């Protein structure tokens, strides 16, 4: 098992302009001179090798900016073929949760599938809008096609992987 973690901060030294007057009235668009709140994002990803050709990746991402919070939890599965591990199938699901005025609510359910060959992943992702389905009886949908270069790296580098 391996653990990968990360932390990022946005608007730390140079704050962007916010279009909201304050946190209590997010629909106000009159005064555009209010500074954005600091945004912090943390993430964690575990890598479990179930066997020499199968991996399981549970993950979590959380982002905080002023009164707004966003959490995404999910898992991916990777099944490689052949001994060279250059070809693999990927599948995964995630749930995005956001805070409202009183509680946290699920907002999106995402499903993904991909095919890896020679350090590239061709992926398909589908997001189903749970919040819109619950409140408006019309869910929002999004479909994404992606091409990802995995890269060739040595994970035994000092502090960081070496590419």
Q: Token match 């040595």: residue?
A: 154
Helix (H) / strand (E) containing 60: strand 54-65
Contacts 24+ apart (CB under 8 A), 142-146: 146/121, 146/122
| pTM of the predicted structure, to 2 decimals | 0.73
C-beta of residue 55 within 8 angstroms of C-beta of residue 77? yes
Percentage of the chain modeled with pLDDT above 70: 76
Average per-residue pLDDT for the chain: 82
pLDDT tens digits for 2-21?
899 999 998 777 666 555 55
Q: Token match 């001994």: residue?
A: 83
Contacts 24+ apart (CB under 8 A), 93-102: 94/59, 96/70, 96/71, 96/72, 97/70, 97/71, 97/72, 97/73, 98/68, 98/69, 98/70, 98/71, 98/131, 99/67, 99/68, 99/69, 99/70
pLDDT tens digits for 74-85?
999 999 987 666
- Residue count of the chain, please give it: 163
């Amino acid at each position: 098992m391996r653990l990968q973690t990360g932390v990022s901060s946005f608007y730390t030294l140079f704050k962007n302009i916010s279009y909201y007057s304050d946190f209590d009235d997010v629909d106000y668009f009159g005064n555009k001179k209010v500074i954005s709140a600091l945004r912090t994002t943390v993430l964690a990803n575990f890598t479990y090798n179930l066997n020499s050709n199968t991996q399981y990746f549970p993950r979590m991402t959380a982002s905080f900016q002023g009164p707004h919070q966003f959490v995404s939890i999910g898992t991916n599965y990777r099944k490689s073929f052949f001994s060279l591990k250059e070809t693999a199938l990927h599948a995964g699901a995630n749930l995005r949760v956001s805070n409202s005025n009183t509680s946290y609510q699920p907002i999106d359910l995402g499903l993904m599938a991909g095919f890896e060959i020679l350090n590239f992943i061709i992926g398909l992702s589908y997001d189903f809008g749970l919040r819109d389905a619950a409140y408006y009886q019309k869910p929002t949908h999004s479909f994404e096609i992606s091409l990802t270069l995995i890269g060739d790296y040595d994970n035994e580098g000092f502090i960081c992987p070496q590419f």
